[in-house]
Amino acid sequence: MFYEESEHIELKKSINRLPDALKSICAFCNHRGGSVFFGVTSSGEIKGVDVSDKVLLKISQQINRIRPEITPEIREINEDGKSLIEVKVLEGNNKPYFLNGIAYIRVGTEDKLIPPDELKRIIIEENRENWDEEIKTTANFDEIDKDTLDEFLIRARESRNFDIDVKVTVEDALERLALSKNGLLTNAAVLLFTRDPQKFFPQAQVRCAKFKGNDITQPFIDMAVIDGNIWEQIAETEKFILSNIKRAAWFETEKMERTEHFEYPFEAIREAIINAICHRDYRSSGNVQIRIFDNSMEIWNPGKLPEGMTIGLLKGNHTSKPRNKLIAQSLFLTKYIEQWGSGTNKMIEACVNEGLPEPDFNEVGDDFRVILTRSRVNEILENPDLINNRQWKAIDYLKSNDIITSIEYAELFNCSHRTARMDLKGLVDLGIFEKKGKGNQIHYILIRSYRQLPAIAGNGDGN
């Protein structure tokens, strides 16, 4: 393994550097976690250290000077026949952390003192109750829609083996779910299970619009303001989107069954909707917004990314920091979300699998936005006669082969070289094939998004 100091890694040549290492461990706890490696120089040269019980005990005892108490992973690693010690800590859940009364935070490869103003902000933020855990004193149990709650409990048992009697009273069920406290409803309970959440939280809406063109200055074709509880909002928002994006239908050659293809991956749409409704900042007066344009779709929600989360982290393996933990837990119990932190990865995977660009995640002012790009596959599926039978066969050929030349095309589909060149040019003009090389090296490849283009029966001119 190559060792290099970074935001998450600190290198120490020997145990003698333990005092400095403790600063790094404290700083990691106040940031995003990390590892200290003993037995490696700052330049990455492996020296090795003594890994005796006495040494490991000393490290453990010294780490106890950090408050609040932490439980790091301390283990021996073998590199090039030499022993190293790794002390690994996760980002703390009880910030701020102090070493000898001083709080440190990791900035690049340095451990810096947390400034007083920042320390005050961290303390206030950590001690502030999440919005969805707060009590809504004006709501009462009579507002709960028991049918919705019963349906939720049945699904939670079936989906996650949630151990609860579905015949339990409303009061007991909500208390078991931590959605009520001392006989009072939390904000999460109001959004999830009351008949009219907007009576209490008018900002809890989803505003949807389909625009003519590619920006909001153009007139809208369709518009809806979606109220209701969270489950209704998810379902109705999905319906609005699916009714305002194009779908192509065809009969597959082998199956002769009707199949449909939306111009945006449905899984990406659903994940974006759920993430927006689940993780939005309900303290904000803004709404979740769905903006559908000719060539793209935007999903907006009030609230920036949580502290410590970046756009870059959304595209890799990351833990989640749900702004609304009770809402997220309820969505998890019913399999609306699988693992906290996997939603953005699912969106990326769904788009990439269909050959589309990855979703664009960004922050605009105090809002978070997801942009999905329309699939061009539907343009062909909507107008299959633009492609003749030879061209359809060529597309299928390149799904299992890397390239095709005009000579191969003519031989495979029993046509003249002139016809082969014309067919291939037509596929390039449609944006389905890309022409590569020069002279005798000219060949054609299939654009990735069209690998999802199905074999369609009964299209083309028969030539």
Q: What angle do CA 340, 346, 349 make, to 5 degrees?
A: 150
Query: How high is the pLDDT of residue 153?
Result: 95
Query: How high is the pLDDT of residue 457?
Result: 41
User: Across residues 174-179, what is the average pLDDT?
Assistant: 94
Report the number of distinct structural domains present in the chain.
4
Mark whether 223 and 363 lie in a shared domain.
Answer: yes
What's the CA gap between 208 and 38, in Å, rounded?
A: 55
CA distances (Å), origin 91, targets 85, 105, 316: 20, 11, 17
The beta strand positions in 303-393, using DSSP E, are 360-364, 367-373
Query: How high is the pLDDT of residue 461?
Result: 46
Contact 273, 232 (CB under 8 A): no
Mark whether 167 and 120 lie in a shared domain.
Answer: no
Q: Would residue 3 count as lying in a domain?
A: no
Mark whether 137 and 109 lie in a shared domain.
Answer: no
Boundary (domain end) residue, out of 199, 219, 243: 199
Q: Which two tokens stand for residue 351?
A: 């788009």
DSSP 197-239: GGGT-TT--EEEEEESSSSTTSPEEEEEEE-S-HHHHHHHHHH
Q: Would residue 2 count as lying in a domain?
A: no
What's the CA gap between 423 and 427, in Å, rounded?
A: 6
Residue type, 414: N
Q: Would residue 380 count as lying in a domain?
A: no
Mark whether 408 and 338 lie in a shared domain.
Answer: no
Query: How high is the pLDDT of residue 340?
Result: 59
Q: Would residue 381 count as lying in a domain?
A: no
Mark whether 168 and 62 lie in a shared domain.
Answer: no
Query: Which 3 state secondary structure label does DSSP give 393?
Result: helix
Mark whether 57 and 22 lie in a shared domain.
Answer: yes
Residue type, 292: I
Q: Which of 119-133, 240-254, 405-419, 440-454 has the lowest mean pLDDT?
A: 240-254
Contact 130, 323 (CB under 8 A): yes
Contact 190, 136 (CB under 8 A): yes
Containing domain of residue 360, as a range? 206-375
Higher pLDDT, 250 or 276: 276
| Cα-only R_g, the chain | 29
pLDDT band, residue 249 (cuts 50/70/90): low
Mark whether 235 and 368 lie in a shared domain.
Answer: yes
What's the CA gap between 63 and 61, in Å, rounded?
A: 5
Residue type, 124: I
Check which CATH number belongs to the domain holding 400 and give it: 1.10.10.10
Neighbours of 295 (CB within 10 A): 10
Q: Would residue 177 count as lying in a domain?
A: yes
Core vs surface per residue 407-435: b (16+ CB within 10 A) or e: ebbbeebebeeebbeebbeebeebebbee
What's the CA gap between 118 and 137, in Å, rounded?
A: 32
Q: What's the sign of the alpha-carbon dihedral 189, 193, 198, 200? A: negative
Q: Would residue 349 count as lying in a domain?
A: yes
**What average pLDDT does the chain have?**
89
Contact 299, 289 (CB under 8 A): yes
Q: Which of 160-164, 271-275, 281-285 has the lowest mean pLDDT?
A: 160-164
Mark whether 36 and 160 lie in a shared domain.
Answer: no
Q: How far does CA 335 lie from the centroid of its chain?
A: 15
H-type alpha helices, 194-342: 230-244, 266-279, 311-314, 325-333
Mark whether 181 and 222 lie in a shared domain.
Answer: no
Query: How high is the pLDDT of residue 250?
Result: 55
What percent of the chain lies above the pLDDT cut of 90? 68
- The pTM assigned to this predicted structure is 0.67
The residues, ordered by sequence, that sit 6+ positions from 147 with a Cβ below 8 Å of its Cβ are none
| pLDDT above 60 (res 217) | yes
What's the CA gap between 380 and 16, in Å, rounded?
A: 68
DSSP 23-42: HHHHHHHHTT-EEEEETB-T
Q: What is the pLDDT of residues 80-102, one digit of tens each?
A: 899 999 999 988 878 899 999 99
Sole residue written with tokens 């206030």: 124
Element (H, E) at 422: helix 417-429
Mark whether 291 and 410 lie in a shared domain.
Answer: no
Q: Would residue 459 count as lying in a domain?
A: no
Mark whether 179 and 211 lie in a shared domain.
Answer: no
Mark whether 98 and 188 lie in a shared domain.
Answer: no
Contact 260, 381 (CB under 8 A): no
What's the CA gap between 336 and 89, in Å, rounded?
A: 31
What's the CA gap between 372 and 359, in Å, rounded?
A: 5
Boundary (domain end) residue, out of 375, 407, 433: 375
Boundary (domain end) residue, out of 91, 109, 127: 127
Q: Would residue 4 count as lying in a domain?
A: no
Query: Which 3 state secondary structure label does DSSP give 345?
Result: helix
